[in-house]
Amino acid sequence: MNFELSDEQRMLQETLSRLLREQYPFETRQKLLQSPQGFSRELWHRYAELGILGVPFSDEVGGFGGGGIELMLVAKALGRALTLEPYLATVVLGGTVLATVDSQRARSLLEEVIAGQTLLAFAHWEPGERYNGAILSTHAQARDGGHVLSGHKAVVLHGQDADRLIVSAMTREGVATEGIALFLVDPRSPGVTVRGYTTIDGLRAAEIQLESAPAELLAAPEQAAQAIDRAIGYGLVALCAEAVGAMEVICELTLEYLKTRQQFGVPIGKFQALQHRMVDMVIRLEQSRSITLLAAAHVDDTGIDRDRALSAAKALIGKSGRFVAESAIQLHGGIGMTWEYSMPHYAKRVVMIDHVLGDVDFHLDRFSSLMEVSAA
Amino acid sequence: MDIHYDEKELAFREEVRQFIREKLPPELAAKVKSGKRLTKEDFLCWQNILSERGWLAQHWPKEYGGPGWGPVQRHIYEEEAAAAGAPWIIPFGVGMVGPVIIKFGTKAQKEKYLPRILRNEDWWCQGYSEPGAGSDLASLKTRAERHGDHYIVNGQKTWTTYAHYADMMFCLVRTDPKAKPQEGISFLLIDMKSPGVTVRPLLLLDGEHEVNEVFLENVKVPFENLVGEENKGWTCAKYLLGFERTGIAGVGQAKEWLRQLKAIAAREKNNGKPLIEDPSFRARVAAVEVELMALEMTNLRVVADAEKGGAPGPESSMLKILGSELRQEITDLMRRAVGPYALPFFPEYFDTDQPIDVGPEYAPPLAAQYFNHRKVSIYGGSNEIQRNIIAKMILGL
């Protein structure tokens, strides 16, 4: 057991952190947020040059050869800068699906992703089923030697930016084996309607309607299940780490505020009620770091311990993130409610992370169903 | 970075497991697991076994008789010991005064006391709190005045754990009443057999005799029993507090209790089904387990970090808060798991083998344990004091 980062890991973390410190001050972020695109293409290419877009993928496909820990380091740095780029959608979710699917098509598309040439979105969840991706209405039919898909995909992260959509759909015997398969869909195809919008935390998402939209089979059910599972696993690690990065900044800003804001003739950090709440925020952050590390260390394993670690992490992050975000706003008072100040934007992101890939209740429930109960 | 145990660590775990399996008397393990109260002999029995193996002084440097373990090994020991039902190591000698003597003691003090601690020849107690000095420890009033070649000590200590077993007490006394509160305190070693020392039991709310009042009336203490410099006792006290808090996360014990909680909830019924299958109860257990998984990592990270900087710092306050609140939560769930059978109270259960003919056999100690463990967020510096320490020392508020 060893908690030290390797030189390579430290370098990865430092390179990305330096880039973001220099290129991603809060003011820049806010301008990007208001821009039509909503994020920086230019920075996306810088990520590609630095190899950040290939971090969780093996050397053979042109990746960095990293695993969960490396992904954690990247996502934490992105969280600290409150970045807007579609890293989760394109690299973590879409890219991991491609990396898991063993085909020439998937490999060449993944190379484009790593090079920063192609953006992806993972269109999996549907209205009315919340975080449960096991029940789908979207279905695939064979047509003209290919497939067409029909259905509605809900809150698809960066759905309007994607060059390719990875869409899950039910197949029947004759199309593939029965079950959930994965398809590639060109969003410009006839039969695809993309209704894009912004999310409250400053990102972009879309509702995607498919009406007999042409689709290319990417993975038949058995392999698709594995790819979805891996992608969600990596997605959970990335979200937890992003939340940790954002919580770090929230704690730093709040502590700074407690030391500078004067009321009753003293810095408000002299008041014990506020001190103790701040301490509890820092304790929650420490627990969040720990559980994220646990999830990152287990995400490349298989079996129940991996699933337990992932759900434990997302549940703890959801609960702790809410506490940290709410406390920070409360300790700041009015300024914590304003658009112009950075902290509230971090707070929004941390709270909304609970709404992606399953919230506290969803993951506590899943953890609970996986809980070991030894005989008395 | 790799949080999995490496081969050496796995081999060490096997060694510890096998050692405990061979050496821990089954009747002692049964007492621990069924929540019975341990006698002085019970504690000493296990500590002598550890002493013989060289595993008693787990925090001490090797040259003083420590086993040379790092934080991971200590964590593995703690977990294996708790899972097997080994008694906890009474910390006052080996965990508290030992490190202080190693750090601040004279050659003579080291030669005299350290081997006796290693062989369990002295049972130590901690003379810190007083009726008027709890969280505000520096306001303590017990006086030590120079008189020839010794001090004369007068005052009263309280909440003194196992003073009724103790041969020696390490004690904070005021040697300069004119100095600022923290600057006039000295660290003295007092022989409990000295004339003028009186120990009076203080029963806790669960009826247990664990803590005492200690009255000191004109107690003669030779100068050679002063550790560190006169009026510099607060430095020793602070150093010790760091050590007091290291094992305090109690991860091994929490894991064992969580297993017991699940076992109990699997046998209890609710609406005709095992209680553990009741969604709301199960969710509470799950939430505790999630928190414990995180705490285990936090503990290892903080302790591994502290290891590099020597003595554990204020970060251990965080472990104290998390570990105490978590164990309290588990004792709360255990009490609730048995429903109405948390109510019957049989004092004889704790000290005898007498079977209890009321309720499930695992129920008798649960409510008492719950009440007893309210102490863990109070002792060793209350959790509120720990939050003050973090606010000041880590956050700079």
pLDDT, mean over chain B: 94
Test B391 with A278 for CB contact under 8 angstroms.
Answer: yes
DSSP strands (E only) in A163-281 = 164-171, 179-185, 192-198, 204-219, 262-263, 266-267
Q: Is A270 on the interface with B (CB under 8 A)?
A: yes
> Which residues, in sequence order, are CB contacts of A89 under 8 Å at separation 6+?
A119, A120, A121, A122, A157, A158, A161, A162
Q: Is A134 on the interface with B (CB under 8 A)?
A: no
Binding-face residues of A in 49-78 toward B, CB within 8 A: 69
Q: What is the mean pLDDT of residues B78-82?
A: 96
Q: What is the mean pLDDT of residues B383-394?
A: 94
Test A4 with B285 for CB contact under 8 angstroms.
Answer: no
Which DSSP symbol is given to B165?
G
Q: What percent of chain A has pLDDT over 70?
A: 98
CB B367 within 8 A of CB B334: no
Three-state DSSP class for residue B341: helix
Which residue ranges make up each domain of chain A?
Answer: 7-118, 122-219, 225-370
CB A19 within 8 A of CB A13: no
- Helix (H) or strand (E) run with residue A242 in it: helix A221-260
CB B199 within 8 A of CB B156: no
CB B4 within 8 A of CB A1: yes
Residue A374's pLDDT is what? Answer: 62
Q: What distances in angstroms separate CA B170 from CA A328, B64, B190, B218, B219, one per listed residue?
A: 43, 20, 6, 17, 14
Test A364 with B297 for CB contact under 8 angstroms.
Answer: no
For residue A6, the distance in angstroms to the closest alpha carbon of chain B comes to 6
Test B395 with A368 for CB contact under 8 angstroms.
Answer: no
Show residues of chain A in contact with B73, CB under 8 Å.
none
Radius of gyration, alpha carbons of chain A: 21
CB A360 within 8 A of CB A317: no
CB B239 within 8 A of CB B306: no
Please count the other Cβ atoms lying within 10 Å of the Cβ belonging to residue B182. Answer: 16
Phi/psi at A152 (5° precision): -130, 125
> pLDDT tens digit string along B161-186?
999 999 999 999 999 999 999 999 99
Test A282 with B394 for CB contact under 8 angstroms.
Answer: yes
For residue B267, the distance in angstroms to the closest alpha carbon of chain A comes to 7
For residue B245, the distance in angstroms to the closest alpha carbon of chain A comes to 16
Q: What is the mean pLDDT of residues A240-255?
A: 98
Q: Which long-range contacts (CB under 8 A, 24 or more apart) does B208-212 make?
A: B208/B37, B208/B350, B208/B368, B208/B372, B209/B164, B210/B161, B210/B162, B211/B158, B211/B159, B211/B160, B211/B161, B211/B163, B212/B158, B212/B160, B212/B161, B212/B162, B212/B163, B212/B164
Q: Which chain A residue's Cα is nearest to B71?
A: A1
Nearest to B3 among A283, A287, A293 (CB): A293
CB B379 within 8 A of CB B96: no
For residue B7, the distance in angstroms to the closest alpha carbon of chain A comes to 10
- The ipTM estimated for the assembled molecules is 0.94
> pLDDT tens digit string along A217-245?
999 999 999 999 999 999 999 999 999 99
Architecture of domain A7-118: Orthogonal Bundle (1.10)
Check residues A88 and B72 and name the one with the higher pLDDT.
A88
Q: Which chain B residue's Cα is nearest to A308?
A: B290
For residue B319, the distance in angstroms to the closest alpha carbon of chain A comes to 9
Inform me whether the pLDDT recorded for B310 exceeds 90. Answer: no
Q: Is A273 on the interface with B (CB under 8 A)?
A: no
> pLDDT tens digit string along B18-65?
999 999 999 999 999 999 999 999 999 999 999 999 999 998 999 999
Sign of CA dihedral A124, A129, A130, A134: negative
CA distance A95 to B166: 65
Inform me whether the pLDDT recorded for A376 exceeds 50. Answer: no
Residue B380's pLDDT is what? Answer: 86
Q: Is A259 on the interface with B (CB under 8 A)?
A: yes
Test A294 with B290 for CB contact under 8 angstroms.
Answer: no
* Closest to A4 in 3D by CA, of B172, B305, B5, B176: B305
What separation, in Å, do the N-terminal and C-terminal C-alpha atoms of chain B show?
33
* Closest to B357 in 3D by CA, of B368, B366, B348: B348
What separation, in Å, do the N-terminal and C-terminal C-alpha atoms of chain A show?
31
For residue B214, the distance in angstroms to the closest alpha carbon of chain A comes to 33
Test A3 with B1 for CB contact under 8 angstroms.
Answer: yes
Q: Is A370 on the interface with B (CB under 8 A)?
A: no
Q: What is the mean pLDDT of residues B152-162?
A: 97
Show residues of chain B in contact with A279, CB under 8 Å.
387, 390-391, 395
Could you tell me how far CA B357 lies from the centroid of its own chain?
A: 33
* Closest to A122 in 3D by CA, of A146, A155, A151, A170: A155
Nearest to B391 among A6, A275, A309 (CB): A275
Q: Which chain A residue's Cα is nearest to B395?
A: A255
Q: Is B29 on the interface with A (CB under 8 A)?
A: no
CATH number of B250-394: 1.20.140.10
Test A3 with B300 for CB contact under 8 angstroms.
Answer: yes
CB A311 within 8 A of CB A364: yes
Q: Is B301 on the interface with A (CB under 8 A)?
A: yes
Active site residues of B: 244
For residue B366, the distance in angstroms to the closest alpha carbon of chain A comes to 16
Pair of tokens at residue A55: 């971090």
Q: Which one is the CATH code of A225-370: 1.25.40.80, 1.20.140.10, 1.10.10.10, 1.10.730.10? A: 1.20.140.10
Residue written as token pair 């004889």 = B348
Bridge-based pairing of strands B143-147 and A266-267 is unpaired
CA distance A91 to A168: 17
Q: Is B293 on the interface with A (CB under 8 A)?
A: yes
In CATH, B124-231 is 3.30.70.100: no
CA distance B328 to B370: 7
Helices (H), chain B: 7-23, 26-33, 40-53, 71-84, 91, 98-104, 107-118, 233-246, 251-267, 279-308, 315-337, 348-351, 366-372, 383-389
Binding-face residues of B in 131-190 toward A, CB within 8 A: none
Test A2 with B397 for CB contact under 8 angstroms.
Answer: no
Q: Please list the residues that pair with B203 across neighbouring strands.
A: B209
Which DSSP symbol is given to B253?
H
Residue A373's pLDDT is what? Answer: 74
Inform me whether the pLDDT recorded for A192 exceeds 60. Answer: yes
Residue B266's pLDDT is what? Answer: 96
Inform me whether the pLDDT recorded for A345 exceeds 50. Answer: yes
Show residues of chain A in contact with B388, CB under 8 Å.
272, 275
Residue written as token pair 């220099």 = A22
CA distance A244 to A77: 9
Residue written as token pair 């972020």 = A29
CA distance A214 to A194: 15
Inform me whether the pLDDT recorded for B128 exceeds 80. Answer: yes
Test B387 with A275 for CB contact under 8 angstroms.
Answer: yes
Bridge-based pairing of strands A120-123 and A164-171 is parallel
Q: Is B290 on the interface with A (CB under 8 A)?
A: yes
Phi/psi at A361 (5° precision): -65, -45
Q: Is A268 on the interface with B (CB under 8 A)?
A: no
Q: What is the mean pLDDT of residues A177-190?
A: 94
Q: What distances in angstroms separate CA B146 from CA A56, B153, B336, one per listed residue?
A: 70, 9, 55
For residue A283, the distance in angstroms to the closest alpha carbon of chain B comes to 7
Three-state DSSP class for residue A268: helix
Which one of A272, A276, A373 would you mutate to disrupt binding with B, by most B Cβ within 10 Å of its Cβ? Answer: A373
- Dmax (CA) of chain A: 78
Least confident of A203-217, B235-249, B292-306: B235-249
Q: Is B396 on the interface with A (CB under 8 A)?
A: yes
Test B276 with A373 for CB contact under 8 angstroms.
Answer: yes
Pair of tokens at residue B16: 């510890």
Which DSSP symbol is given to B119?
T
CA distance A43 to A49: 10
Q: What is the mean pLDDT of residues A243-251?
A: 98
pLDDT-based confidence at residue A298 (cuts at 50, 70, 90): very high
Residue B305's pLDDT is what? Answer: 76
Q: Is A290 on the interface with B (CB under 8 A)?
A: yes
Show residues of chain B in contact with A266, CB under 8 Å.
none
> pLDDT tens digit string along B283-295?
999 999 999 999 9
Q: Is A293 on the interface with B (CB under 8 A)?
A: yes
Cβ density class A297-314: b for 16+ within 10 Å, e for less: bbbbeeeeebbbbbbbbb
Burial of A374 (0-12, 13-18, 19+ CB in 10 A): exposed
Pair of tokens at residue A226: 């594995």
Inform me whether the pLDDT recorded for B272 exceeds 90. Answer: yes
> pLDDT tens digit string along A14-27?
999 999 999 999 99
Q: Is A241 on the interface with B (CB under 8 A)?
A: no
> Which residues, in sequence order, are CB contacts of B395 under 8 Å at separation 6+?
A255, A269, A275, A278, A279, A282
Which residue ranges make up each domain of chain B?
Answer: 7-89, 124-231, 250-394
Three-state DSSP class for residue B70: coil
Test A283 with B293 for CB contact under 8 angstroms.
Answer: no
CATH number of A122-219: 2.40.110.10
Q: Which amino acid is at B201?
A: P
Which one of A279, A285, A320 would you mutate to disrupt binding with B, by most B Cβ within 10 Å of its Cβ? Answer: A279
Q: What percent of chain B has pLDDT over 90?
A: 89
CA distance A252 to B257: 36
Radius of gyration, alpha carbons of chain B: 22
Q: Is A375 on the interface with B (CB under 8 A)?
A: yes
Show residues of chain B in contact with A309, CB under 8 Å.
293
Cβ density class A2-38: b for 16+ within 10 Å, e for less: eeebeeebeebbeebbebbeeebebeebbebbeeeeb
